[in-house]
Amino acid sequence: MIRIALIGCGRIGQMHAANLDRHNRTELSMVFDADQQSAQTVARTFGVQSVNSAEEIFSSSNVDGVLIASVTSTHADFIEMCVAAGKPVLCEKPIDLDLDRVNRCAQKISGTTVPVQIGFNRRYDPGHSSAREAVLAGEIGELHQVIITSRDPEVPPRAYLEAAGGLFRDMTIHDFDLARFMLGEEPTEVFAIANALIDPKLGADLNEVDSAMFILRTDSGKQCHINNSRTAVYGYDQRVELMGSNGMLISDNRKPNEVRRYSKHGVEKASPYEFFFIERYSEAFMACLNGFVDCIEKSAPPLSSFEDGRRALVLAETAYRSLHERRLVRVSEVD
Amino acid sequence: MIRIALIGCGRIGQMHAANLDRHNRTELSMVFDADQQSAQTVARTFGVQSVNSAEEIFSSSNVDGVLIASVTSTHADFIEMCVAAGKPVLCEKPIDLDLDRVNRCAQKISGTTVPVQIGFNRRYDPGHSSAREAVLAGEIGELHQVIITSRDPEVPPRAYLEAAGGLFRDMTIHDFDLARFMLGEEPTEVFAIANALIDPKLGADLNEVDSAMFILRTDSGKQCHINNSRTAVYGYDQRVELMGSNGMLISDNRKPNEVRRYSKHGVEKASPYEFFFIERYSEAFMACLNGFVDCIEKSAPPLSSFEDGRRALVLAETAYRSLHERRLVRVSEVD
Amino acid sequence: MIRIALIGCGRIGQMHAANLDRHNRTELSMVFDADQQSAQTVARTFGVQSVNSAEEIFSSSNVDGVLIASVTSTHADFIEMCVAAGKPVLCEKPIDLDLDRVNRCAQKISGTTVPVQIGFNRRYDPGHSSAREAVLAGEIGELHQVIITSRDPEVPPRAYLEAAGGLFRDMTIHDFDLARFMLGEEPTEVFAIANALIDPKLGADLNEVDSAMFILRTDSGKQCHINNSRTAVYGYDQRVELMGSNGMLISDNRKPNEVRRYSKHGVEKASPYEFFFIERYSEAFMACLNGFVDCIEKSAPPLSSFEDGRRALVLAETAYRSLHERRLVRVSEVD
Amino acid sequence: MIRIALIGCGRIGQMHAANLDRHNRTELSMVFDADQQSAQTVARTFGVQSVNSAEEIFSSSNVDGVLIASVTSTHADFIEMCVAAGKPVLCEKPIDLDLDRVNRCAQKISGTTVPVQIGFNRRYDPGHSSAREAVLAGEIGELHQVIITSRDPEVPPRAYLEAAGGLFRDMTIHDFDLARFMLGEEPTEVFAIANALIDPKLGADLNEVDSAMFILRTDSGKQCHINNSRTAVYGYDQRVELMGSNGMLISDNRKPNEVRRYSKHGVEKASPYEFFFIERYSEAFMACLNGFVDCIEKSAPPLSSFEDGRRALVLAETAYRSLHERRLVRVSEVD
């Protein structure tokens, strides 16, 4: 069993703690949170030790790896500390909201052999990943177009939005990563539009948006569309469509069961989609942990690396420039 | 254009009149109904002649074929008259509610070369017939099981039920015919149960049932299940499942369009199914007319012959005996 | 019966001739084609008169309306002649490949009360139009995003492409119109990318593209994505997705029947999609004729007007400017 | 953590061992198998003790409950021993192939408060159970018809079949139980037909069948159809349809992901169904364990009791009598 320490015991941290506990290749070894009460609650729930400083984790011989789920602004620091301590690290996205900070972190850890994995869980989803494998196996010939539909069931609380760094860095970042993963080539051009359609006050108060559309393109001409919304009242909407010269693949939404309902009010009604990312990507979170264990045990490179985390942020920055300059922006202008 | 005279101008007759008018290989030439007012209304609508006696139809040189949509008790007489007059005939099901009458009719017209087609429209449905063709093409290997789901959206009016001859002869007769068509072999054994579940008064007052299940079997062991209900509140439910040694085919319900709805109250909700048989089998009714024209023009044997009509009734009679004797009954005990 | 004369007896003209013949409110009254042999073939097939000049149509008292299906470069001339002669006109898209010519035509016919309908058949599709009606009925709250997927099954012949005026004016023009129809507001900004992915020679030889993505936006911020491809080997792919504050609607592809196949090689396999626009939009073409008859009989304004035809072309022009200038272009820069 | 001892370390026993290990409320405490090598292999895999006699389990203070997955002929003995020892027991179906033996066992353990649960895992399936709950909540009004489709992907090896006790006792027993569960009333009449369609030698050599259809009915007239096949080459086919006075529910097959494929060879092709019961009912097996823990911790009656196991066998016996006597047989004739 690989012993993983957890840094950050908020909502996502608690989910990770439960997953580490449940996973048949990992065990939760100790937890840390700047808010000691949060840490102690999680520690009690899973019968593990709560430590008073992150350093205790880095110096412990009972820790084979570290999962970072603390607030975003601490990610880069913790990654650097983990690498310095030789502890493999699985860090939640985004690495940081500031590309400069990410680049400095990249420099600092450059050349290390300590595995650093970024938690882009969607790469590990059974549906999305089997679609990607089918493309790699040539099932649809040459890939031409990728369409990513990614919509949240509701607008997050104002407090969350104020700290989140903007829709592109907080929400679309997953889709930018998925676009890169699916395209199999680096997107080199980005175009974006965005509006505050659901809650116009978001725009007025926070300069934030809630609905967006993107077009990305690679140098070979592969095209990608992403559409985002924060108000899919029908449920968390996560679809990927891959169009190629010889066919198409769609990785569609997941339901908890295959019950369909028929009444005066409608036919073939499906069970509601999984509520949100924790439910929808539950298998993916576990598979992501599995990948992390492989990194540690087999020194395998992570499926979602630090550089993947950095590039997704670069795409977000490029998209913001496109939004402001109303034009197709080359990624190289930003990176 | 093949000139077709219509006998019977009630609800179904009116539908046939419109179809004959619309069809690009037929025209409605004249109409007759014992109720002259009905006949005149239809005649006016389509700008054709209304005649005062059916004999005028049989003796007219402007009639290439006759479509019989009058009340059931007159079907056999009209078939006999058509055949005597050398007029090809397309007759609504059932031929008669009384098997003896049907057998006498069979004897009377035996040996004739005048085409006699029974209106088992489901054989002509694009879905059902393409499923049947796939079986014939060997797509699912050897056919083992047929499952027919056949449910009406609502119980018909009491007056209709009193004249209809019982669920098996009125409604299931279509499914008995479809079972024979799909099995590709003669069912030789029948078992039936039936209850008045929707409206217990049907049982008490009319000795009628509204929900039934059947099992049929051929001598080679092919198995068929039929289930009927008069209360599919979600819409007319018409499905055929064909299970074989090498695969399965399902011919599912039809919708007027492919709009799906997503809301707080459900996802993937489809448009309502076609309301009832006139809507659901609209293409089948036209294809059935097309088959009739082929019979007339090419002297081709009908896809649904008089003998098919007779055998469906035999299955209904066998099913009633099974119902009363609570056992698997051989068709040969009845026929 | 409304008597319609047909100008243009090529492939599309022949389809329209058959539809006019089949439709229960129209009859084909006479045909004209610069290629007299084509005209005579159609005339013979439907038993109507073939005339030697279009003028015979405009001056005939047996013509209630004119359907223009001739080559694109003649559309505007014929529209002007029809209007001058007081003959209601239903003209195939596009009005012309040259926006100036369209604008001159608009000026010339401005103020007329003669109905001029453009054949944007997709507005009349049962699925698309019922989705639009659901939006108007408030079913999904406020509309936020429209996603149009529109892909042809194969690249047309080189000769067709040379005359077609480019993907945006030939193919996307339908989608631009559908975008306007669905958005319910005028798109005022357009962004486009396009590549020759399927056949790179298209780009080299004809400066043509085969794969494209678009983003449109209205002044209120409604967003629309269109994606096009000429190589949907799995079939003609025509989907519309409407995302709103209170739900979503998807108008999906149509199949000729609802047979699903299950074998070692896959489950739930559907029947192939309708091959191409003639099959896929067969109901829409008939409904479009119905709308034209309503225009003539009730002097109702057409659902797809000359101005709709003009605006779709304006969007195509705007899209081409965006393609060349790599930026979001305001429609007002072009129109 | 509830400590469960496992009796029987064959294929199913190994699956249960892994589940007990993985489940967050149970741990595998010790294992026994008459074949000591099997027991030792499982013991090593999960790091638990292998004992030389079942008695060691019954007398151990480290065992909170026992899971019986040994050969069928030993089930009743082990159940009796567990009950005598006061150990809660979860036993694989069927209790025994001989109804007399089951009845004697019932008598012996009658009056005990020790929980005895039978592993009818399908009751615990998320889809099937949520459909059942919807019925109980009145969603489809009064339940009228239940249709159970239950087909295995392939015929088991000859050796398995020789010991299995016949299709009805081995395979249909699950469907008989599900029928009782879904009907919410006791079926009192049974009709069955069965044939060796896939492998006629099965009939000749073993007097065994591979394809069967059943009709069950309750005293209030609720109807149920079951159909079985051992040759669903397209995958393990497990569907339940519940038809009521106010609607219908279908619990359909499960797929490992929602990828759909589109090619020249077909559209909307789904990912293959879960291979067989271990994969298809993986969640159900875990939920079944959860139910067992509830029984132990809360002294809750099991969702699938000993009497449920007995009654399913009674239905199998009744079905065999129907098969031989070719008639509707009352359950009371057998029980």
**CB distance B261–A264 less than 8 Å?**
no
C-alpha distances out from residue D302 to D72, D91, D118, D123, D125, Å: 21, 12, 8, 11, 15
pLDDT at C313 over 90: yes
Does the beta carbon of C222 lie under 8 angstroms from any beta carbon of chain A?
A: yes
Residue B24's pLDDT is 86
Question: Which chain D residues are within 8 Å of A139, Cβ to Cβ?
Answer: 261, 263
Nearest CA-CA distance, residue A238 and chain C, Å: 14
Domain B124-280+311-333 architecture: 2-Layer Sandwich (3.30)
Give me chain C's average pLDDT, please: 96
**CB distance C229–A191 less than 8 Å?**
no
Residue D96's pLDDT is 97
Q: Which residues of chain D have pLDDT under 50?
A: none
Output DSSP code: residue B271.
P
Torsion of CA D253, D185, D191, D176, to 10 degrees: 40
Q: How far apart are CA D77 and CA D68, in angstroms?
A: 10
Q: Which residues of chain B have pLDDT under 50?
A: none
**CB distance D261–A271 less than 8 Å?**
no
Nearest CA-CA distance, residue B271 and chain A, Å: 7
Residue C178's pLDDT is 98
Reported for A207-211, long-range contacts at CB under 8 A and 24+ positions apart, including other chains, are: A208/A161, A208/A166, A208/A167, A209/A166, A209/A167, A210/A155, A210/A167, A211/C144, A211/C145, A211/C221, A211/C223
Question: Which chain D residues are within 8 Å of B142, Cβ to Cβ?
Answer: 197
Give B 1-40 residues with CB within 8 A of chain C: 21-22, 24
Q: Residue A247: closest CA among chain D residues belongs to which residue?
A: D263
* Residues A141 and A247: beta-carbon distance below 8 Å: yes
Does the beta carbon of D259 lie under 8 angstroms from any beta carbon of chain A?
A: yes
Does the beta carbon of A318 lie under 8 angstroms from any beta carbon of chain C?
A: no
Q: How far apart are CA B27 and CA D65, in angstroms?
A: 79
Question: Which chain C residues are within 8 Å of B238, Cβ to Cβ?
Answer: none
Peptide bond into A94 cis (omega under 30): yes
Question: Which chain C residues are within 8 Å of B252, Cβ to Cβ?
Answer: 258-260
Q: How far apart are CA D90 and CA D110, in angstroms?
A: 16
Q: How far apart are CA D150 and CA D127, in angstroms?
A: 15
Candidates D254, D257, D258, D269: best to mutate against C (most CBs of C within 10 A) is: D269
Give me the residue from B255, B269, B273 closest to A269, CB to CB.
B269
Residue D247's pLDDT is 98
Question: Which chain B residues are within 8 Å of A273, Cβ to Cβ?
Answer: 267
Q: Residue A220: closest CA among chain C residues belongs to which residue?
A: C197
**CB distance D215–B229 less than 8 Å?**
no
Domains A2-114 and A123-285+311-333 share a fold: no
Q: How far apart are CA B93 and CA B69, in angstroms?
A: 9
Give D 134-153 residues with CB within 8 A of chain B: 142, 144-145, 147, 149, 151
Does the beta carbon of B113 lie under 8 angstroms from any beta carbon of chain A?
A: no
Which chains, if any, share at least 3 CB pairs under 8 A with chain C?
A, B, D
Using DSSP, state whether B225 is helix, strand or coil: strand
Does the beta carbon of A272 lie under 8 angstroms from any beta carbon of chain B?
A: yes
Q: Residue B222: closest CA among chain D residues belongs to which residue?
A: D197
Residue C24's pLDDT is 86
Cα–Cα nearest to B94, from B203, B155, B172, B200: B172
Residue B330's pLDDT is 98
Residue C299's pLDDT is 85
Quick one: tokens of D57?
């389990």
Q: How far apart are CA A4 and CA A69, in angstroms?
A: 12
**CB distance D134–A261 less than 8 Å?**
yes
**CB distance B326–D326 less than 8 Å?**
no
Give me the residue from B125, B252, B261 closest to C247, CB to CB.
B261
Beta strands in A163-317 (DSSP E): 187-195, 211-218, 223-229, 237-244, 247-251, 259-263, 266-270
Residue B299's pLDDT is 85
Does the beta carbon of B267 lie under 8 angstroms from any beta carbon of chain A?
A: yes
pLDDT in tens, C137-194: 999 999 999 999 999 999 999 999 999 999 999 999 999 999 999 999 999 999 999 9
φ/ψ of residue D33, rounded to 5: -150, 140
Residue A256's pLDDT is 94
Give me the residue from C253, C264, C266 closest to D266, CB to CB.
C266
Does the beta carbon of C204 lie under 8 angstroms from any beta carbon of chain B?
A: no
Q: How far apart are CA B117 and CA B301, in angstroms?
A: 8
Q: How far apart are CA C69 and CA C67, in angstroms?
A: 6
Q: How far apart are CA C120 and CA B288, in angstroms?
A: 33
Question: Which chain D residues are within 8 Å of B318, Cβ to Cβ?
Answer: none
Give me the residue from C234, C255, C262 closest to D234, CB to CB.
C262
Does the beta carbon of D250 lie under 8 angstroms from any beta carbon of chain C?
A: no
Quick one: tokens of A152?
């949240």
ipTM: 0.95
Does the beta carbon of B249 lie under 8 angstroms from any beta carbon of chain C?
A: yes
**CB distance D258–A22 less than 8 Å?**
no
**CB distance C145–A211 less than 8 Å?**
yes
**Cα end-to-end span (Å), chain C:** 40
Mean pLDDT in residue range A100-105: 98
**CB distance A198–C144 less than 8 Å?**
yes
Cα–Cα nearest to A52, from A43, A64, A61: A43
Q: Which fold, B2-114?
A: Rossmann fold (3.40.50)
Quick one: tokens of B176?
């008995």
* Beta-carbon-side half-sphere exposure of residue D181 (alpha carbons within 13 Å): 28
How many beta carbons lie within 10 A of that of residue B157, not counting itself? 8
Candidates D183, D198, D213, D242: best to mutate against B (most CBs of B within 10 A) is: D213
How many beta carbons lie within 10 A of that of residue D186, not counting itself? 14
**CB distance C134–B261 less than 8 Å?**
yes
Which residues make beta-bridge pairs with B247? B244
% of chain A exceeding 90 in pLDDT: 96
Give me chain A's average pLDDT, please: 96
Nearest CA-CA distance, residue A241 and chain D, Å: 9
DSSP string, A54-92: HHHHHH-TT-SEEEE-S-GGGHHHHHHHHHHHT--EEEP
Question: Which chain D residues are within 8 Å of A20, Cβ to Cβ?
Answer: none
Which residues make beta-bridge pairs with A223? A145, A217
Residue B300's pLDDT is 87
Nearest CA-CA distance, residue A195 and chain B, Å: 22
**CB distance C195–A248 less than 8 Å?**
no
The pTM assigned to this predicted structure is: 0.96
Q: Kindly list the domain boundaries of chain B, sorted by start residue.
A: 2-114, 124-280+311-333
Give me the residue from D195, D223, D247 closest to B211, CB to CB.
D223
Using DSSP, state whether A233 is helix, strand or coil: coil
Please list, in sequence order, all residues whose beta carbon lies within 8 angstroms of the beta carbon of residue C312, skipping any fewer than 6 positions away: C93, C94, C120, C173, C174, C176, C177, C180
**For residue A93, is it left (φ>0), alpha (ψ between -120 and 50) or beta?**
beta
Q: How far apart are CA A321 and CA A333, in angstroms?
A: 9
% of chain C exceeding 70 in pLDDT: 100
pLDDT in tens, C108-143: 999 999 999 999 999 999 999 999 999 999 999 999
Domain C123-285+311-333 architecture: 2-Layer Sandwich (3.30)
Residue D24's pLDDT is 85
Give me the residue from B145, B197, B234 closest to D229, CB to CB.
B145
**CB distance C248–B261 less than 8 Å?**
yes
Candidates D259, D260, D264: best to mutate against A (most CBs of A within 10 A) is: D259
Give me the residue from C247, C254, C271 closest to B262, CB to CB.
C247
**CB distance B144–D231 less than 8 Å?**
yes
